[in-house]
């Protein structure tokens, strides 16, 4: 008897032009700056160091001295998964990487202050790992159309098997920023940042199903192992404009506000999928597919408002950030109206409006300078925040 497989059933789709992927690209934005992040990101009313280029460029006007800055980071990431009572640790280690580098320069002025800065910084990390494996009695409906002697039937290879799955992602989103802050009065300042965004995420999903107990041994369903590997490389680029304002009510009370205008994020995706099905007698069926897709996203406005109180050696700071995730949209302007592509993205835009919500992030931090002498001291910082999930029905706030 002759056996043939016309096509392999694709177990999981990796199509990324969806509402969830549009949100994912910017969901975990954390900014940069050792001091600002130590304060929980409550930096809108401060911003008086290099990280003000991101949090509030108006804060740069308060810098009287120039600076060259360099930031690095390393990552040790671990999670534990449980599948069919089998536990597995997923450690992910990243060696020391550059997180930011730049320069701040105060321009001499007759009156007031003018400070410019340029920097290259990572504001989002896509690094993550999840995997599990175990013997499963549950049916996952995995099957294949097999033709024997001209007759095609659908056969299941879906339970009493060893299953394993692994999801690995890496990369990040960086911005090259030119920024300035200028004093517009003795107590107020204005700032502007222009950023070129560029990002890349490498995503890989692998799935394997193996007949360890030889449960499938009768022809034509003498399945031995099925392997699926799907990869997605996503590259993003765009321009972002951010403006900020800062003022002092008195020497100890400061107010800051910053907003990021809506902008277009260009997305280029490269897909690949490889499937291999092995049989006990050595027969092999395999399929490899490649694809590319380009599209654009319109990202919503971001509004930050913060206050800071400083007294002697103590500083307290809070801020809120508003963002309506439901305003994220696929750009339809350059797509033929009524085409299948247009209708697909139009439907995804409706899904974004329905599934995702406006959120208000709350951040707070404290800083204390412990002086040992007039020339030496140590600063202690602590901070945190509440970052609601963009999903309307989610309780997974951070």
- What is the 3 state secondary structure string of 6-69? CCCCCCCCCCCCCHHHHHHHHHCCCCCCHHHHHCCCCCCCCCCCCCHHHHCHHHHHHCCCCEEE
**Which CATH number do you get for residue 82?**
2.40.160.60
* Residue 140 falls inside a structural domain: yes
Would you call 349 helix, strand, or coil by DSSP?
A: helix
- The DSSP secondary-structure symbol of 218 reads S
* Residue 346 falls inside a structural domain: no
- The DSSP secondary-structure symbol of 356 reads B
> Do residues 368 and 392 make contact, with C-beta atoms less than 8 angstroms apart?
no
Q: What's this model's pTM, rounded to 2 decimal places? A: 0.87
Q: What is the pLDDT of residue 347?
A: 95
* Residue 125 falls inside a structural domain: yes
Beta-strand pair 284-299/263-279: antiparallel
Would you call 109 helix, strand, or coil by DSSP?
A: coil
* Residue 341 falls inside a structural domain: no
Residue 63's closest CA among 137, 6, 115?
A: 115
Would you call 354 helix, strand, or coil by DSSP?
A: helix
Phi/psi zone of residue 367: left (φ > 0), alpha (ψ -120 to 50 degrees), beta?
A: beta
Torsion, Cα of 31, 36, 37, 40 (10° steps): -110
Spell out where the chain has E strands: 3-4, 67-83, 86-107, 114-125, 128-136, 143-148, 151-156, 161-183, 188-210, 223-248, 253-260, 263-279, 284-299, 302-311, 314-324, 329-330, 358-371, 377-386
* Residue 322 falls inside a structural domain: no
- The DSSP secondary-structure symbol of 395 reads -
Is the preceding peptide bond at 220 cis, omega within 30 degrees of 0? yes
The residue written with tokens 């009313």 in the block is 45
Residue 288's closest CA among 276, 304, 305?
A: 276
How far is the C-alpha of 148 from the C-alpha of 116, rounded, in Å? 73
Would you call 351 helix, strand, or coil by DSSP?
A: helix
> Do residues 253 and 309 make contact, with C-beta atoms less than 8 angstroms apart?
yes
> Do residues 205 and 229 make contact, with C-beta atoms less than 8 angstroms apart?
yes
* Residue 101 falls inside a structural domain: yes
Tens digit of each residue's pLDDT, the chain (398 residues): 566 665 554 544 555 689 999 999 999 999 999 899 999 999 999 988 999 999 999 999 999 899 999 988 877 777 777 777 777 777 777 777 888 999 999 999 888 899 999 999 999 999 988 888 888 888 888 888 888 877 888 888 888 899 999 999 999 999 999 999 999 999 999 999 999 999 999 999 999 999 999 988 888 888 999 999 999 999 999 999 999 999 998 889 999 999 999 999 999 999 999 999 999 888 888 889 999 999 999 999 999 999 999 988 999 999 999 999 999 999 999 899 989 999 999 999 999 999 999 999 999 999 999 988 878 889 999 999 999 999 977 655 55
How far is the C-alpha of 156 from the C-alpha of 9, rounded, in Å? 11
* Residue 338 falls inside a structural domain: no
Q: What is the pLDDT of residue 37?
A: 92
- Give 89's Cβ-side CA count (13 Å radius): 6
DSSP letters, 322-344, are: EEEGGG-EE--TTS-TTSHHHHH
Which range of residues forms the domain containing residue 33? 3-310
Residue 323's closest CA among 358, 362, 363?
A: 358
Overall number of domains in the chain: 1
* Residue 103 falls inside a structural domain: yes
DSSP H or E stretch at residue 348: helix 340-355
Residue 144's closest CA among 287, 289, 273, 9?
A: 9
Token couple for 93 = 């280690």
Question: What's the length of the chain?
Answer: 398
Residue 75's closest CA among 97, 47, 53?
A: 97
How far is the C-alpha of 35 from the C-alpha of 54, rounded, in Å? 13
């Amino acid at each position: 008897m002759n056996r043939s497989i016309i096509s392999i059933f694709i177990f999981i789709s990796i199509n990324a032009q969806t509402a969830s992927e549009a949100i994912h690209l910017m969901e975990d934005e954390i900014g940069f700056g050792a001091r600002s992040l130590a304060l929980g990101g409550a930096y809108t009313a401060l911003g008086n160091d290099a990280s003000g280029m991101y949090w509030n460029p108006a804060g740069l006007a308060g810098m009287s001295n120039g600076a060259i800055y360099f930031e690095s980071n390393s990552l040790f990431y671990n999670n534990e998964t449980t599948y069919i009572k089998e536990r597995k640790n997923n450690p992910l280690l990243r060696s020391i990487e550059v997180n930011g580098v730049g320069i701040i320069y105060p321009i001499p002025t007759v009156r007031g202050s003018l400070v410019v800065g340029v920097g290259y910084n990572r504001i989002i990390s896509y690094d993550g790992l999840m995997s599990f494996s175990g013997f499963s009695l549950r049916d996952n409906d995995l099957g294949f159309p097999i033709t024997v002697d001209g007759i095609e039937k659908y056969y299941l290879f879906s339970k009493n098997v060893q299953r394993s799955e692994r999801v690995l992602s890496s990369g990040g989103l960086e911005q090259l920023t030119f920024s300035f802050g200028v004093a517009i009065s003795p107590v107020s300042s204005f700032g502007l940042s222009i950023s070129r965004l560029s990002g890349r995420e490498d995503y890989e999903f692998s799935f394997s199903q193996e007949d360890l107990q030889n449960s499938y041994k009768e022809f034509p369903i003498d399945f031995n192992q099925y392997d699926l590997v799907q990869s997605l490389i996503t590259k993003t680029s765009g321009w972002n404009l951010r403006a900020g304002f800062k003022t002092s009510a008195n020497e100890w009370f400061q107010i800051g506000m910053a907003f990021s205008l809506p902008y277009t994020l260009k997305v280029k995706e490269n897909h690949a999928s490889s499937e291999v099905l092995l049989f006990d007698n050595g027969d092999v069926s395999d399929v490899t597919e490649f694809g590319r897709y380009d599209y654009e996203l319109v990202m919503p406005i971001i509004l930050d408002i913060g206050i800071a109180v400083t007294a002697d050696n103590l500083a307290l700071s809070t801020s809120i950030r508003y963002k309506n995730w439901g305003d994220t949209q696929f750009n339809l302007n350059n797509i033929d109206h009524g085409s299948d592509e247009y209708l697909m993205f139009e439907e995804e835009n409706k899904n974004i409006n329905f599934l995702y919500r406006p959120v208000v992030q709350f951040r707070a931090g404290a800083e204390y300078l412990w002086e040992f002498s007039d020339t030496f001291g140590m600063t202690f910082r602590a901070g945190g925040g509440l970052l609601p999930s963009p999903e309307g029905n989610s309780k997974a706030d951070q």
